[in-house]
Chains A and B, each alone.
Chain A
Amino acid sequence: MIRKALAPIAALAAVTSLFFSQGAHAESGWHLLNMRQGVTAISREIYSLHMLIFWVCVVIGIVVFSVMIWSIVTFRKSKGAVPDTTMVHNTKVEIIWTAIPVAILVAMAVPAAKTLVQIEDTRNTELTIKVTGFQWGWQYDYLENGVRFFSRLERKADAARQLGSGVDPNTIPNYLLDVDNPLVVPAGTKVRLLITAADVIHAWWVPDFGMKKDAIPGFVNEMWFNVDEDKTGIYRGQCTELCGRDHAFMPIVVDVRSKEDFQTWLKATAEAQKQAAAPQPAATAHAG
């Protein structure tokens, strides 16, 4: 009978070996187990909240599961255990196991609420960028400088991700996490994003920045981040609200540069854009 039950598993193993035979992928992902700490004060704050609640759960879990396992091992009829049928109620115990969770929750709620207050503190932002999600990509608009551009999935990945393209995604660096024009921001600067959408709801998320916000058509959401001065580099994320067919194919890439490098880039880009389209129409609709 067990053999019968195992037969499908054997068949499954055969099928899976077929998959594996097509070549191992570039980098191993077994170590990806936890949330990343990220590169902003807020993301680290969130990470520590996450770890705190995680360990709280682990401790409660150990206690509760130990009791259950102990019971399962000890109170077996096969071991001659006799049930104590009078044990049906115990007010004292019930009050204790209601009160302790209340205390734990209050202890959790306080730091969480503090972090929320910090996240909502939008004062003293130094740079504002409007982010517009559309099907399927992002538009970035540096409001004070007139620089604006679209950011879409990088071409090679876009070709590889077509159904039955025959291209092995492992041969493409940063598959689905690379774009043609990344968002460029300065490090050590409180950058404010005004997030909106042109068609349906999208969500802008870079895990290393710790925050995610919905992009809602007709609405403007506000969000900010401040990348540590010494954490320049490339950070990647994805749209995180189902937005239709190509939801999986509108990555977000942020190129964090030093303040000077950023200014140089901004000037050069502004100049280039001015020359490219001399009479720049204001907010004409882009073909999404």
Chain B
Amino acid sequence: MAQHAPAAAHAHDDHHDHKPHGWRRWVFATNHKDIGTMYLVFAGIMFFVGGLMAMVIRLELFKPGMQFVDPLLFNSMTTMHALFMIFGAVMPAWTGLANWQIPMQIGAPDMALPRLNNFSFWILPFASAILLLTLLVPGGGPAGGWTLYPPLALQTADAFPMTIFAIHLMGVSSILGSINVIVTIMNMRAPGLSLLRMPLFVWSWLITAYLLIAVMPVLAGAVTMLLTDHYFGTTFFTAAGGGDPVMYQHIFWFFGHPEVYILILPAFGVVSEIIPAFARKPIFGYEAMVYAIASIAFLSFIVWAHHMFTVGMPLAGQIFFMLSTMLIAIPTGVKVFNWSATMWKSSMTFEPPMLFALAFLFLFTIGGFSGLMLAIAPADFQYHDTYFVVAHFHYVLVPGAVFSILGAVYYWLPKWTSKMYDHKLAKVHFWLSAIFVNVLFFPQHFLGLAGMPRRIPDYATQFTDWNMVSSIGAFGFGLSQLLFPYIIWKCVRSGAPAPARAWEGAHGLEWELPSPLPYHTWETPPSAAVIARGAEH
């Protein structure tokens, strides 16, 4: 990178002019756009790997009796589906979007730490490969659930150290990625772009990144303790040596609850970008939105034990965690109300990104309602570890996180490629996804309330009907996602040229850049006038 300050506005140094081609461009990538693309492609592949595992699960659950897989393989499918979707698909997709968007949105030339950026990406494929390979080792993959509760997780065969190692690597990757995001946002903003003028996507990522570097190391600690319990005779979690298996759950969920907000907070950011753009109206209550994200992040540290109401907690503990969990509904409600208010007296059009954002709004709210129900501790004794919980977290993670990622890609793809994709096809993709996601997950509420436990490969016959519906929804949802890579491929290959401001109502510094995008983003920081135009909200 430049060792000297640019003498003139358009000064390039030699390094910048050299744009590597072929495989070197990717392996040695330091450009935020290239790395962003790699993250997104990787996340897409992992989404299909994890999705394939979900298909195995839903296939076996199509009807009672064991037809296709051994129960142990089923358990490792549920375990690995979660690990791949969380650490392989959703988190890297957010990092990819951060890489693409944050420099563009804050008027920076690139991410602050380009080589670290390259390193943190390239850890990921290796980590995923290790995790996937566990399926081939004797004893099969990890099958104790993604939460890795001891003592069950300690029964994992040869896959155990590989799983822990893969989790460590994915953790390191996401921590480094987040550090890069924080440094970029704190140090690289264009002069004049104060924190409270930043786009909400950047805000949501800043808070997410802090959350991530605070809790991901805690997970690393917890799984390291598991590892030493297994191989080095420590007894953190074994009662025999004075340890306590419940302590693992406390430590895990101290990580785990913030983790689910790591998955969903950037979605809040994305939706807060898309809705104003297609409503042609600034976001309602910008500052309230920022404070709401911050308070959700804070609350996430003090609610963890609501995942474990059934372990036998003292009464005071149950009441505390019930109340703190219910509190989350308040900032979340504020966000939903603000989005609704943004649409009020607006002028909306319904291009694909907007459709995904609207589906997010409705379906995430449903997930929020079931979350509120789960917060009620006595009722949770009935809901806990049933399909009701499965329905709940899939409602917040699929139409929540995944839909907003799809929406984000449809929103920014014309900027990235300077081409427009096939709207009709994207709308088909949307409608199929939106319908099937409900066919898939809504019946799971019924199954859970009727008493079907989660993580079972076979069930009592009265659960057959709704399981069939759910499985049909799953196959439909899985198949319709194949449209997505096709739409992107078609756009890249033969899309019509898109203008620099691809959407009429889109505001933000990224739309002030020319299309096609220059290889280096904001080599000269945007002027005060450009910032004023782009950063209004």
Name A's B-contacting residues (CB within 8 A).
1-2, 5, 8-9, 12, 15-16, 19, 22, 25-30, 32-36, 45-46, 49-50, 53-54, 56-57, 60-61, 64-65, 67-68, 71-72, 75-78, 81-85, 87-90, 93-94, 97-98, 101-102, 105, 108-109, 112-113, 115-117, 119-120, 160-165, 167-170, 174-177, 199-201, 203, 205, 207, 210-214, 216-219, 221-222, 237-249
Report yes or no: A83 in contact with B346, Cβ–Cβ below 8 A: yes
The dominant DSSP class at the A interface is mixed
B483 proximity list for chain A (CB < 8 A): 5
A213 to B311, CA, bound (A): 6
The dominant DSSP class at the B interface is helix
Cβ contact of B369, chosen from A29, A57, A115, A167, cutoff 8 A? A57
Q: Beyond A168-B65, A219-B239, is A81–B347 a contact (Cβ under 8 Å)? A: yes
A247 proximity list for chain B (CB < 8 A): 71, 75, 455-456
Closest partner residue, chain A, to B358 (CB atom): A72
Report yes or no: B282 in contact with A85, Cβ–Cβ below 8 A: yes
Q: Beyond A75-B347, A87-B345, A164-B67, is A116–B378 a contact (Cβ under 8 Å)? A: yes
A9 to B482, CA, bound (A): 12
> In the complex, how many angstroms separate the beta carbon of A41 from the nearest chain B beta carbon?
12
Report yes or no: A29 in contact with B424, Cβ–Cβ below 8 A: no
B70 proximity list for chain A (CB < 8 A): 163, 245
Cβ contact of A203, chosen from B283, B310, B462, cutoff 8 A? B310
> In the complex, how many angstroms separate the beta carbon of A166 from the nearest chain B beta carbon?
9
Report yes or no: B155 in contact with A68, Cβ–Cβ below 8 A: no
Cβ contact of B349, chosen from A76, A90, A108, cutoff 8 A? A76
Contact with A along B336-368 (1 / 0, CB 8 A): 110011011111110000000010011001100
A71 proximity list for chain B (CB < 8 A): 340, 343-344, 346, 348
Q: Beyond A33-B449, A77-B349, A89-B284, is A49–B376 a contact (Cβ under 8 Å)? A: yes
Closest partner residue, chain A, to B66 (CB atom): A163
18 A-B pairs with CB atoms under 8 Å apart are: A1-B424, A8-B479, A16-B472, A33-B449, A57-B370, A61-B365, A68-B362, A87-B284, A89-B287, A94-B285, A101-B329, A116-B378, A176-B458, A199-B151, A212-B385, A222-B312, A244-B144, A247-B455
A115 proximity list for chain B (CB < 8 A): 378
For the complex of A and B, list the 3 residue pairs with the smallest distance between their C-beta atoms, beginning with the closest.
Answer: A218-B239, A248-B456, A32-B450
Instruction: Give residues 307-346 of B contacting A (CB, 8 Å).
Output: 308, 310-312, 315, 318-319, 322-323, 326-327, 329-330, 333-334, 336-337, 340-341, 343-346
Report yes or no: B286 in contact with A88, Cβ–Cβ below 8 A: yes
Report yes or no: A75 in contact with B151, Cβ–Cβ below 8 A: no
> In the complex, how many angstroms separate the beta carbon of B489 from the nearest chain A beta carbon?
15
Report yes or no: A214 in contact with B365, Cβ–Cβ below 8 A: no
Q: Does B297 contact A (CB under 8 A)?
A: no
> In the complex, how many angstroms separate the beta carbon of A16 from the nearest chain B beta carbon?
6
Cβ contact of A34, chosen from B284, B372, B449, cutoff 8 A? B449
User: Interface stretch among B187-195, B463-471, B511-519?
Assistant: B463-471
Report yes or no: A201 in contact with B151, Cβ–Cβ below 8 A: yes
Report yes or no: B382 in contact with A207, Cβ–Cβ below 8 A: yes
A68 to B475, CA, bound (A): 30
Q: Beyond A12-B475, A108-B376, A165-B66, is A213–B310 a contact (Cβ under 8 Å)? A: yes
Report yes or no: A243 in contact with B428, Cβ–Cβ below 8 A: no
Closest partner residue, chain B, to A5 (CB atom): B428
A208 to B362, CA, bound (A): 33
> In the complex, how many angstroms separate the beta carbon of A52 from the nearest chain B beta carbon?
9
Instruction: Give residues 385-410 of B contacting A (CB, 8 Å).
Output: 385-386
Q: Does B172 contact A (CB under 8 A)?
A: no
Report yes or no: A53 in contact with B464, Cβ–Cβ below 8 A: no
> In the complex, how many angstroms separate the beta carbon of B317 from the nearest chain A beta carbon?
10
A115 to B309, CA, bound (A): 14
A170 to B315, CA, bound (A): 43
Report yes or no: A219 in contact with B312, Cβ–Cβ below 8 A: yes
- A to B contact number (C-beta, < 8 Å): 320
19 new A-B contacts at CB < 8 Å, known A19-B468, A32-B447, A221-B312: A1-B428, A2-B428, A8-B479, A25-B464, A29-B462, A36-B450, A61-B366, A75-B279, A83-B345, A88-B283, A89-B286, A98-B334, A167-B65, A212-B381, A217-B239, A241-B149, A245-B70, A245-B143, A248-B459
Q: Does B44 contact A (CB under 8 A)?
A: no
Instruction: Give residues 53-79 of B contacting A (CB, 8 Å).
Output: 62-67, 69-72, 75
Q: Beyond A57-B372, A75-B279, A77-B280, is A244–B152 a contact (Cβ under 8 Å)? A: yes
Report yes or no: B341 in contact with A1, Cβ–Cβ below 8 A: no
Q: Does B288 contact A (CB under 8 A)?
A: yes
> In the complex, how many angstroms separate the beta carbon of A76 from the nearest chain B beta carbon?
5
B425 proximity list for chain A (CB < 8 A): 1, 5
Q: Beyond A162-B66, A247-B455, is A94–B288 a contact (Cβ under 8 Å)? A: yes
A199 proximity list for chain B (CB < 8 A): 151
A249 proximity list for chain B (CB < 8 A): 71, 458
Report yes or no: B460 in contact with A174, Cβ–Cβ below 8 A: yes
A81 proximity list for chain B (CB < 8 A): 345-348
Report yes or no: B378 in contact with A160, Cβ–Cβ below 8 A: no
Q: Does B113 contact A (CB under 8 A)?
A: no
Q: Which one of B358, B377, B451, B463 has the greatest number of beta carbons of chain A within 10 Å?
A: B451
Q: Beyond A60-B369, A162-B66, A200-B155, is A93–B341 a contact (Cβ under 8 Å)? A: yes
A246 proximity list for chain B (CB < 8 A): 71
Q: Does B499 contact A (CB under 8 A)?
A: no
Q: Beyond A29-B464, A33-B450, A75-B343, is A169–B369 a contact (Cβ under 8 Å)? A: no
Report yes or no: A175 in contact with B285, Cβ–Cβ below 8 A: no
A33 to B442, CA, bound (A): 11
A112 to B329, CA, bound (A): 16
> In the complex, how many angstroms separate the beta carbon of A34 from the nearest chain B beta carbon?
5
Q: Beyond A29-B463, A203-B385, is A83–B281 a contact (Cβ under 8 Å)? A: yes
Report yes or no: B327 in contact with A105, Cβ–Cβ below 8 A: yes
Instruction: Give residues 245-283 of B contacting A (CB, 8 Å).
Output: 245-246, 279-283
A56 to B240, CA, bound (A): 46
Q: Does B415 contact A (CB under 8 A)?
A: no
Report yes or no: A243 in contact with B349, Cβ–Cβ below 8 A: no
Report yes or no: B361 in contact with A68, Cβ–Cβ below 8 A: yes
B461 proximity list for chain A (CB < 8 A): 25-27, 29, 169-170, 175
Report yes or no: B365 in contact with A108, Cβ–Cβ below 8 A: no
> In the complex, how many angstroms separate the beta carbon of B361 from the nearest chain A beta carbon?
6
A168 to B464, CA, bound (A): 13
B230 proximity list for chain A (CB < 8 A): none
A168 to B449, CA, bound (A): 25
Report yes or no: B245 in contact with A9, Cβ–Cβ below 8 A: no
B446 proximity list for chain A (CB < 8 A): 32-34
